[in-house]
Chain A
Amino acid sequence: MPTLASLKPGESAFVTLLDEGSYTCKLLNLGILPKTKVTMVRKSPFGGAFYIKLERHQLAMRTEEAETIYIEQKQ
């Protein structure tokens, strides 16, 4: 299954599932839940991190953090 890290800048998708691990609770606290719409806005200037937009707020996360978020592009 594709993860959030595989999205290209400008693409959107819906969260399906979180790979349970040490990041999970933090991600939930930040509003990353199943069915949430997420948009990949851009990569960080020196790589390694993403600028993610949710419905009403923005987040930054590292690649390995985004890789624990499974997505599907249609809903």
Chain B
Amino acid sequence: MTKTDRFNIALLGNPNSGKSSLFNFMTGLRQDVSNFPGVTVDKKRGSYTLKNGVEAHIIDFPGTYSVYPNSSEEKLVINILADAVNPHQPDLVVYVADITQLERHLLFATQIIDMGYQMVFVLNMTDLVEKEGSSIHLRDLKQYLGVPIICISVRDEKNMEELESAIEVFVEKRYGQSASPLYQFSDIETFVATRVQKHLGIENIYTAKIIAHHYQWLEFLREDHRTYIRDIIARSGFDDLKLQVRETMQRYDSYSEVVKKTVISSKKTLKSRTDQIDGWITHRFIGPLIFFMVMLFVFQSIYSWATYPMDWIETGFATAGAQINHILPDSWWTDLIVNGLMAGLGGVLVFVPQIAVLFFLLSILEESGYMSRVVFMFDSIMQKFGMNGRSMVSLISSGACAIPAIMSTRTISNPKERLITILVSPLVSCSARLPVYAVLIGFAVPDVKIWGILNMQGLAFMGLYVLGILGALGSSLVFKKILKSDSGSFLMIELPDYKPPIWKNVILSVKEKVIAFIAGAGKIIVFISVILWFLASFGPGDSLLNAEINAKKESESSGLSMEEQNNLTASYKIEASYIGRMGKWIEPAIAPLGFDWKIGIALLTSFAAREVFVGTMATIYSIGNDNDEKTIRQKMAAEVRPGTDIKVYNTATSFSLLVFYVFAMQCMSTLAIVKRETNTWKWPIIQFLFMSAMAYLGALVVYQVMA
């Protein structure tokens, strides 16, 4: 190959081998994250320039234990490795193994070598072993694997240039084929593999055997090939599971002596630091307590730290909008820029601080090894609700904002458990519901103390949160029953040794999540914002013009100030707009909930985001843009039903509206991120429908009982 050719390197290895840290070291900021085609598995790709100018592409593949996969991530890796014409096929595999876990980490390496891949074998964390007083001898291992071996420590960035030159040597002159097969087939395996190899025209016989094991789900197989393999397996008595066990055992046996000769430990390890820490962290009583304290801290941090940058973003956009309004001529496209595009853009960016703070903290917890302890502690509880121990973290994060919470479900490997977590997370009351709750609780609940200490309104707040949590758990039980699972559920996870986080990994993970949100959900959010802007700014025929004339007439006759006149105009205009008409049109449907068309309009506009409810109510009641909750509350409190003196916002309506907002999916950003995370519109639509149904029925029951 010529020196300017692109060159594909695959980083492979077990989970927790330090593979991703190596990837971050090699590529730095020159990496991007997308999905592998058709699945929501992160594809981390980076570029890397060798000293001799060759540009290499590196893909950091999901951590994999062996060619017999247990998760969709692992299946994806096998789908690529077993498919000779896959575009992600590597020219070179850089295999990363943790030397302290050498025996287990060798398994997959020997399988990749048997598949005929060229490999540089990287032993990570070698300094750790040497610090312990053990010594490393590579001769036997080198002979056994037949590939170059490099000892590094990614954490201390030690010996990295050696890895670099090993890759360079490979690019220059390619190594020869590595050692003879490391696994000896049984007669049945030989029988099946040779036939599959011949019939499908596969170069490598071990790959043919892997295909025979996984013919049912390997995506690249043609239907006639599948049928062929099914027949030959039925004829030969090829027992998938028994042969997997046979192979794994034989491989372990073949290298266990080699491992003993590679790492010679000088002393027995005493009770390690990890054991001591876990004595507390996973303790029966103290463990869950520590967890809730950690989560309280995470929750508080999203809630309070993120508020400042969120305020800056909001004020920044408001000021910029006012400036643009001032500079540009008064026309519909100025309005589109300010109230459509910029509002949408602001609506995207305002979530960035919450996402950044949450993933900063979560990736520290993940990096340090704490997250797998959480899974261990809460597995049995979350299992009852069809979810995973990790779902606990997502659900709690939802209390601040569902968007980062839903993005954090990627680490749940069981698809059904992940999906249920995504579907129910938005039912936990997020911070955007607060302003709505605050306005409405004012009507529904008197501001009195009971027993001298508890404030009734405070209790009502808590009640709404509890209602949201119950809604989430209740619907998860329903989804657990309805949804089908194609992969079995298991816990079986490693509890890796505690380590201080590598800050580079933390920072890169924050950056990746922020970009993923802006790129993945941003377009949808801006698009919906523009549509909502259109519906609120235009009406059929001359209706908006007439509304303006009417407002002017009325304010002249009653002598309103300029500002009051503007507010009245805005109020009449939104009533006459398309969205105003829609609000009136749905009135019969929402009347049983105790809502009038004004609330109807606010329900529609607050689809953009719940907090918009307050602003829309302000416009409808021609209060103007000061968005003062108290003024709005006074106006709303004075509102009566036309022709009567019955208050619109009586206790029943207010409670009904509160319950509606607890359950309703009034957040286009969440729907956009669910679309991104599930890779289809199916789930966000289902989510929207079931949450709206819950909201409608809940509000209906509350109103009909209370009214």
For B100, the chain A residues whose CB sits under 8 A away are 56-57
B275 interface residue per 8 A CB criterion: yes
Q: Is the Cβ of B249 less than 8 Å from the Cβ of A60?
A: no
Q: How far is the CA of A47 from the CA of B383 in the complex (A)?
A: 12
Of the 9-residue stretches B81-89, B471-479, B484-492, which lies at the interface with chain A?
B484-492
Chain A nearest Cβ from B439, distance in angstroms: 39
Given A30-B65, A30-B494, A60-B491: A51 touches B278 (CB 8 Å cut-off):
yes
Interface residues of B in 534-584 (CB under 8 A from A): none
Q: How far is the CA of A21 from the CA of B241 in the complex (A)?
A: 8
Chain A interface secondary structure, helix, strand, loop or mixed? mixed
Q: Is the Cβ of A29 less than 8 Å from the Cβ of B488?
A: no
Given A44-B377, A48-B383, A53-B275: A33 touches B252 (CB 8 Å cut-off):
yes
Interface residues of A in 26-75 (CB under 8 A from B): 26-31, 33-34, 41-49, 51, 53, 56-62, 65
Q: Is the Cβ of B379 less than 8 Å from the Cβ of A28?
A: no
Q: Is the Cβ of A60 less than 8 Å from the Cβ of B378?
A: no
For A51, the chain B residues whose CB sits under 8 A away are 278, 282, 376, 495
Chain B nearest Cβ from A20, distance in angstroms: 6
For A16, the chain B residues whose CB sits under 8 A away are none
Q: Is the Cβ of A60 less than 8 Å from the Cβ of B493?
A: yes
Q: Is the Cβ of B380 less than 8 Å from the Cβ of A46?
A: yes
Chain A nearest Cβ from B678, distance in angstroms: 26
Q: Is the Cβ of B493 less than 8 Å from the Cβ of A29?
A: no
B144 interface residue per 8 A CB criterion: no
Q: How far is the CA of A53 from the CA of B275 in the complex (A)?
A: 9
- Residue on A nearest B380 in the bound complex, by CB: A48
Which of B103, B241, B376, B493 is within 8 Å of A31, CB to CB?
B103
Given A20-B245, A31-B103, A33-B252: A58 touches B278 (CB 8 Å cut-off):
yes
Q: Is the Cβ of A65 less than 8 Å from the Cβ of B282?
A: no
Q: Is the Cβ of A62 less than 8 Å from the Cβ of B491?
A: yes
- Residue on A nearest B242 in the bound complex, by CB: A20
Which of B269, B285, B379, B491 has the largest count of A CB atoms less than 10 A from its CB? B491
Chain B nearest Cβ from A37, distance in angstroms: 13
For A34, the chain B residues whose CB sits under 8 A away are 249
B284 interface residue per 8 A CB criterion: yes
For B65, the chain A residues whose CB sits under 8 A away are 26, 29-30
For B494, the chain A residues whose CB sits under 8 A away are 30, 57-59
Interface string of B304-317 (1 = CB under 8 A from A): 00000000000000
Chain A nearest Cβ from B170, distance in angstroms: 28
For B103, the chain A residues whose CB sits under 8 A away are 31
Which of A24, A47, A57, A59 has the largest count of B CB atoms less than 10 A from its CB? A57
Q: Is the Cβ of B490 less than 8 Å from the Cβ of A49?
A: no
B592 interface residue per 8 A CB criterion: no
Q: How far is the CA of A57 from the CA of B244 in the complex (A)?
A: 23
For B442, the chain A residues whose CB sits under 8 A away are none
Given A45-B285, A51-B278, A65-B490: A60 touches B245 (CB 8 Å cut-off):
no
For A43, the chain B residues whose CB sits under 8 A away are 284
Q: Is the Cβ of A46 less than 8 Å from the Cβ of B377?
A: yes
B70 interface residue per 8 A CB criterion: yes
For B631, the chain A residues whose CB sits under 8 A away are none
Q: Is the Cβ of B282 less than 8 Å from the Cβ of A42?
A: yes
For B372, the chain A residues whose CB sits under 8 A away are 60
Q: How far is the CA of A45 from the CA of B379 in the complex (A)?
A: 10
B107 interface residue per 8 A CB criterion: yes
B381 interface residue per 8 A CB criterion: yes
Given A49-B376, A65-B492: A28 touches B249 (CB 8 Å cut-off):
yes
Interface residues of B in 371-422 (CB under 8 A from A): 372, 375-381, 383
Q: How far is the CA of A31 from the CA of B101 in the complex (A)?
A: 9
Given A45-B284, A58-B274, A60-B375: A25 touches B248 (CB 8 Å cut-off):
yes
Chain A nearest Cβ from B73, distance in angstroms: 14
Interface string of B270-290 (1 = CB under 8 A from A): 000011001000111101100
Q: How far is the CA of A30 from the CA of B252 in the complex (A)?
A: 12
B68 interface residue per 8 A CB criterion: yes
For A47, the chain B residues whose CB sits under 8 A away are 380
- Residue on B nearest A53 in the bound complex, by CB: B275
Q: How far is the CA of A44 from the CA of B139 in the complex (A)?
A: 43
For B488, the chain A residues whose CB sits under 8 A away are 22
For A27, the chain B residues whose CB sits under 8 A away are 492
Q: Is the Cβ of A62 less than 8 Å from the Cβ of B278?
A: no
Q: How far is the CA of A61 from the CA of B376 in the complex (A)?
A: 8
Given A42-B282, A45-B288: A61 touches B380 (CB 8 Å cut-off):
no
Chain A nearest Cβ from B131, distance in angstroms: 15
B496 interface residue per 8 A CB criterion: yes
Which of B107, B383, B494 has the largest count of A CB atoms less than 10 A from its CB? B494
Chain A nearest Cβ from B490, distance in angstroms: 6
Given A20-B241, A24-B245: A46 touches B278 (CB 8 Å cut-off):
no
Q: Is the Cβ of B493 less than 8 Å from the Cβ of A48?
A: no
Chain B nearest Cβ from A72, distance in angstroms: 18
Q: How far is the CA of A71 from the CA of B278 in the complex (A)?
A: 25
Q: How far is the CA of A21 from the CA of B488 in the complex (A)?
A: 12
B104 interface residue per 8 A CB criterion: yes
Chain B nearest Cβ from A45, distance in angstroms: 5
B66 interface residue per 8 A CB criterion: yes
Given A31-B103, A49-B376, A49-B379: A60 touches B495 (CB 8 Å cut-off):
yes
Which of B283, B284, B496 has the largest count of A CB atoms less than 10 A from its CB? B284
For B377, the chain A residues whose CB sits under 8 A away are 44-46
- Residue on A nearest B240 in the bound complex, by CB: A25
For B282, the chain A residues whose CB sits under 8 A away are 42, 44-45, 51
Interface string of B257-278 (1 = CB under 8 A from A): 0000000000001000011001
Question: Known contacts A51-B495, A59-B493; can you find 20 more A-B pairs with CB under 8 A?
Answer: A23-B492, A24-B245, A25-B66, A25-B68, A26-B70, A31-B101, A41-B278, A42-B284, A44-B377, A44-B379, A45-B288, A46-B378, A48-B380, A48-B383, A57-B100, A57-B104, A57-B495, A58-B278, A58-B495, A62-B491
Listed in ascending order, the chain B residues whose CB lies under 8 Å from chain A are 65-66, 68, 70, 100-101, 103-104, 107, 241-242, 244-245, 248-249, 252, 269, 274-275, 278, 282-285, 287-288, 372, 375-381, 383, 488, 490-497
Closest 9 A/B residue pairs (Cβ): A48-B380, A29-B65, A60-B376, A58-B495, A28-B248, A62-B491, A31-B104, A25-B68, A61-B492
Provide a sorted-by-A list of 11 A–B residue pairs whose CB atoms are within 8 angstroms: A18-B245, A23-B492, A24-B245, A25-B70, A47-B380, A48-B380, A48-B383, A51-B495, A56-B100, A60-B495, A62-B490
